[in-house]
Structure 1
C-alpha cells in the first residue's frame, strides 16, 4: 500500500509542477501587459486577456490605450460576441 501512495504522491508533484510552468506567462508578455493595463479599471481582467492575446500574437501595442495598429493580430482578435478581445 505504501509504494502505491508514494508513487501517487510523486506523480502528483511532477504533474503539478508541469502545469504550473506551462500556465505561467512569459516575461515579455507579463511586462508589456503590466504597462498596457496599468490604468485599467479592472486590472485583473485586463491582464488576463492581454496575456492571452500576447501569447498568441507575440506583441502588445504600446501605451495604456489605443495604438492597436502596431499589432494587427492583437487588434483583430474577437471574442465569441464579435467584440474586441484584447484590451
Structure 2
C-alpha cells in the first residue's frame, strides 16, 4: 500500500499546483483586460458602452477558464480514474 499513499499524495500535490496556476493566470488576464479597458476609456470616453460590453464578455470568458480548472481539479481529487488501477 505504499504506492497508493504515494499516488494520492502526488495527485493531491498536482491538484494544488493545477488550481494555483488555474486561478493565478486568469486573475492576471483579468487584471490586464481591465487595465486595457480603462486605458481605452481614458482615450475614447464616448465609446464607453461598446468597451464595457466587450470587457464584460471577455471577463466572463476568462472566468469560465478558472471554473473549468476547478471542476477538473475536483474530479482529480475526489474521483480519480487512475485510482481504480492501483487498488486492484
TM-score, normalised with respect to structure 1: 0.38
Higher relative contact order structure (alpha carbons within 8 Å, sequence separation ≥ 6):
2
TM-score, normalised with respect to structure 2: 0.38
Q: Which has the larger share of helix?
A: 2
Greater Rg by CA? 2
